[in-house]
Amino acid sequence: MPELSQETERGRAVAPFGLAEVTGPSMVPTLHHGDQLLVRYGGAVRPGDVVVLRHPFQQDLLVVKRAVERREGGWWVLGDNPYAGGDSTDYGVVPDELILGTARFRFRPLRAGQRSPLTLLRWALSAARPLLPDRSASRRLRAR
């Protein structure tokens, strides 16, 4: 389950934007372990947005999931990797007050050993990407 450092949480009161690092495989293929996120705190959440939230049962743990749909009592969130778990299928609807913000941009750091010119070119072309809402998330929910 991707989790974010507590440094992100401390900086939240000062600025509407912050940085976070992803750990874990639950958002693969959209996000990978080690990816850096630009997070916009507060604001409206729309279906398909990648959100940063407090885990409903461990509120000191911050996680990244996709907001699938609005339900009574909050948001139904899922990871993009259906085999990783750790989403609303495990803990139900996430109350609005636990949703901290939306991830707007992803930066994938260069990994050790990526030295060939072709590998560096591929990395340069894909390292930084905006995180756009995935409107197919609700279809995945209905398929479960």
CA distance 89 to 77: 8
Name the residue with higher pLDDT: 119 or 74. 74
Domains of the chain plus CATH, in order, are: 17-130 (2.10.109.10)
CA distance 38 to 127: 13
Residue 11 has pLDDT above 50, yes or no: no
CA distance 23 to 59: 17
CB 31 within 8 A of CB 106: yes
Sequence-separated (6 or more) residues with CB below 8 Å from residue 38: 17, 18, 19, 103, 104, 105, 106, 107
Residue 13 has pLDDT above 70, yes or no: no
- pLDDT tens readout for residues 40-72: 998 899 999 999 999 999 989 999 999 999 999
- pLDDT tens readout for residues 110-137: 877 767 888 888 888 888 889 888 755 4
Of the CA atoms within 13 Å of residue 111, those in its CB half-sphere come to 10
Residue 87 has pLDDT above 50, yes or no: yes
pLDDT at 95: 96
pLDDT at 4: 54
Largest CA distance in the chain: 51
